[in-house]
């Protein structure tokens, strides 16, 4: 009887919430249609766009684009508050479509506006969203830093909903980095806060995340029960993103329980919803799950094809170019801030000079005062330049750290390539030894074609690992020698020297570094100039002879 009452209460709560959302949707649609001014229409469009996040995601982008057209209408100064809100929505759209550099670009634009307005409430929201980008890029440590910054700002503002959301997402980053105790602490805080403000949807989101903790702890029945409740809730409210999460979680649980057919059914359901909503990262996860389950069931051909589709989607989401774009955006944002500070300082200096000149012209006493002020100003500028120099040194140190992080990320990608290589070699071996001997001549012909393609991919992917080994071997002590002998060489130029020492062609270097031929030639010219090579000496021979 207790279980019946609990289920009845849950369904009633979902029904009431769904009716409230539908009523809000109808009200906002009417506000858009009957708005008497552009400002009112923009506010209604942005509110409607946010409401459609989990219901009809494709409509969100259309609504915010319409709002931005009105914001940037001719002969009209944009409303910065509305513009920043539109940037945040565009950031969410791009984040869910796995276009992480573009998402970060929009968030930084919004953050700049809110900082100028001294609006801590919205600054904390943007920091939370930036943390989400880093979490999806699998940079959980950086994500946790941004979640903590957001919570720190929200705490004195008493933004219970925002603080709870921060703890919930921070719990996800802790769980993904295998710190389960910290994850449980965060989830418990989030659930208590959401319950205190009676936010049913958000409590359900925490439950989705708790499923994964129960899974890692081996408490599968508790996890399955929470999953079924989450699926029913997401379907009732039309929340496709939450539905994708629940389908993936329950598929994982049945996979662990070795009930592969049921797990595959939920993976198919995940793929259908993700394709309809155009959630790229969820599509990639669905294909990877299907490939793994096909492999466990012995359907190696289907496992291989699903893995190829996963690779195509995965490479478009997690690649070095995206990582570089995000780092460029961060550095550009910091550079622009410094540029504005220098411009303000220059404007301040100019105004002071005019004041000094006016005082000098007026009276001799004014001239004495100007002299004193100039002396003080000189000391002040010396202090400013000293601080600026220290700041630049700190920036250089930060840049070195970022470069080291990029190198670590590249090594991780190569490690991931090695894991894929092992998987394909094992798959090829099983096809040859287990399937081919028992197959008909017609099937053997198809298998030979398939194994040839697999062998070609294994050979291609093997070259990447070999290249990294060669580069590591060449670089042992070589980079330090270059630093000592030719301190004027930059890091890029020293890396070019290492590649030339491998006797690689300019075309091969262009491909490896992902730059143009003109860029390679320009770098090569600068190296010759800095090490003072005569016109008759070959750069490659000179570098290879360095011991």
pLDDT of residue 11: 43
Residue 201 Rama label (left phi>0; alpha psi -120 to 50; beta): alpha
Q: In Å, how far are 70, 79, 270, 337 from 75, measured between CA atoms?
A: 11, 13, 47, 29
Would you list the domain boundaries of the chain?
A: 218-317, 321-470, 477-544
Q: Tens-digit pLDDT profile for the chain (547 aa)? A: 444 444 444 444 444 445 555 688 788 888 888 888 888 988 988 888 888 776 677 788 888 898 888 888 867 788 888 899 999 998 988 888 888 889 889 999 999 999 999 999 999 999 999 998 998 888 999 999 999 999 999 999 999 999 999 999 999 999 888 898 898 899 999 989 999 999 888 888 888 888 888 888 888 898 898 888 889 888 887 888 888 988 999 999 899 989 999 999 999 999 999 998 888 888 988 999 999 999 998 888 898 888 888 888 776 555 555 555 666 666 566 556 655 665 665 566 666 667 767 777 787 676 677 877 787 877 777 787 777 777 767 665 664 555 455 445 445 545 555 566 666 677 767 777 777 777 677 777 777 777 777 776 666 555 555 555 556 555 667 888 888 889 999 988 988 888 888 888 888 888 778 889 999 999 999 999 999 989 888 988 888 887 6
DSSP 181-233: HHHHHHHHHHHHHHHHTT-HHHHHHHHHHHHHHHHHHT-HHHHHHHHHHHHHH
Opening angle at CA 363, ends 359 and 369, nearest 5: 55
* Residues recorded for the chain: 547
Neighbour tally for 361: CB within 10 Å: 10
pLDDT of residue 112: 92
Opening angle at CA 514, ends 92 and 93, nearest 5: 5
| 176, 135 Cβ separation under 8 angstroms | yes
Residue 167 phi, psi (nearest 5): -65, -40
Q: Residue 142 has which token pair?
A: 């950086």
The set of residues, in sequence order, having a beta carbon less than 8 Å from that of 331 and lying 6+ positions away, is 399
Instruction: Decide if 218-317 and 477-544 have a common fold.
Output: no
CA within 13 Å, CB half, 510: 10
pLDDT of residue 414: 53
Q: How far apart are CA 250 and CA 220, in angstroms?
A: 10
Q: Which CATH architecture has domain 477-544?
A: Orthogonal Bundle (1.10)
The Cα diameter of the chain in Å comes to: 109
pLDDT of residue 174: 92
Q: In Å, how far are 207, 228, 474 from 233, measured between CA atoms?
A: 12, 9, 58
pLDDT of residue 536: 86
Neighbour tally for 178: CB within 10 Å: 10
Fold assignment, 218-317: 1.25.40
pLDDT of residue 146: 94
Q: Which residues of 374-387 are buried (b: 16+ CB within 10 A; e: fewer)?
A: eeeeeeeeeeeeee
- CA-based radius of gyration for the chain: 30
pTM attached to this predicted model: 0.47
DSSP 222-288: HHHHHHHHHHHHHHHHT-HHHHHHHHHHHHHHHHHTT-HHHHHHHHHHHHHHHHHHT-HHHHHHHHH
Q: Residue 186 has which token pair?
A: 């965060």
Q: SS3 for 63-115, per residue?
A: HHHHHHHHHCCCCCCCCHHHHHHHHHHHHHHHHHCCCHHHHHHHHHHHHHHHH
Q: What share of the chain is helix, strand, coil (3-state, %, to 5)?
A: 85, 0, 15
| 126, 93 Cβ separation under 8 angstroms | no
Return the SS3 of 482: helix
pLDDT of residue 431: 74
């Amino acid at each position: 009887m207790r279980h019946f009452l609990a289920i009845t209460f849950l369904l009633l709560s979902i029904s009431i919430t769904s009716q409230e959302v539908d009523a809000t949707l109808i009200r906002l649609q009417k506000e858009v249609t009957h708005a008497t001014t552009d400002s009112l229409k923009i506010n209604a469009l942005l509110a409607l766009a946010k409401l459609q996040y989990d219901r009809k995601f494709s409509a969100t982008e259309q609504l915010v684009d319409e709002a931005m057209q009105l914001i940037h209408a001719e002969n009209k100064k944009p409303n910065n508050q509305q513009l920043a809100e539109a940037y945040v929505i565009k950031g969410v759209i791009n984040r869910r479509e796995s276009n992480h550099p573009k998402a970060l670009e929009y968030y930084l634009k919004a953050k700049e506006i809110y900082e100028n307005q001294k609006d801590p409430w919205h600054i904390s929201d943007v920091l939370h969203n930036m943390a989400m980008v880093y979490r999806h890029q699998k940079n959980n440590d950086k994500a946790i830093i941004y979640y903590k910054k957001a919570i720190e700002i929200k705490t004195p503002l008493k933004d219970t909903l925002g603080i709870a959301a921060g703890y919930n997402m921070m719990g996800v980053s802790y769980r993904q980095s295998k710190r389960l105790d910290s994850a449980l602490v965060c989830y418990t805080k989030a659930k208590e806060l959401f319950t205190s403000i009676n936010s049913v949807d958000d409590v359900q989101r925490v439950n989705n995340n708790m499923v994964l903790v129960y899974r890692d702890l081996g408490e599968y029945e508790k996890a399955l029960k929470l999953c079924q409740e989450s699926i029913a809730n997401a379907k009732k409210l039309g929340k496709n993103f939450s539905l994708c999460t629940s389908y993936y979680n329950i598929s994982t649980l049945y996979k662990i329980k070795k009930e592969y057919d049921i797990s595959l059914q939920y993976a198919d359901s995940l793929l259908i919803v993700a394709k309809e909503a155009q959630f790229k990262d969820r599509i990639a996860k669905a294909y990877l799950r299907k490939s793994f389950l096909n492999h466990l069931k012995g359907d190696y051909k289907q496992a291989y094809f699903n893995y190829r589709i996963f690779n195509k989607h995965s490479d478009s989401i997690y690649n070095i170019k995206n990582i570089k774009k995000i780092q460029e955006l961060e550095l550009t944002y910091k550079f622009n801030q410094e540029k504005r500070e220098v411009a303000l300082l220059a404007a301040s200096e100019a105004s002071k000079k005019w004041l000094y000149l006016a005082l000098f012209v007026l009276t001799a006493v004014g001239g004495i005062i100007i002299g004193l002020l100039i002396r003080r100003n000189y000391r002040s500028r010396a202090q400013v330049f000293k601080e600026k120099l220290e700041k630049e040194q700190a920036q250089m140190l930060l840049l070195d750290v970022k470069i080291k992080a990029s190198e670590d990320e590249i090594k991780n990608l190569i490690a991931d390539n090695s894991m894929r290589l092992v998987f394909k070699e094992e798959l090829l071996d099983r096809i040859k030894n287990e399937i081919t001997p028992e197959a008909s001549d017609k099937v053997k012909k198809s298998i030979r074609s398939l194994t040839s393609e697999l062998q070609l991919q294994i050979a291609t992917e093997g070259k990447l690992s070999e290249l990294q080994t060669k580069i590591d071997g060449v670089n042992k002590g070589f980079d330090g020698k270059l630093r000592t002998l030719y301190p004027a060489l930059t890091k890029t130029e020293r890396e070019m020297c290492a590649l030339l020492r491998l006797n690689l062609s300019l075309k091969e270097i262009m491909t490896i570094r992902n730059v143009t031929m003109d860029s390679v030639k320009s770098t090569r010219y600068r190296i010759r100039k800095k090490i003072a090579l005569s016109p008759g000496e070959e750069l490659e021979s000179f570098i290879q002879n360095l011991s």
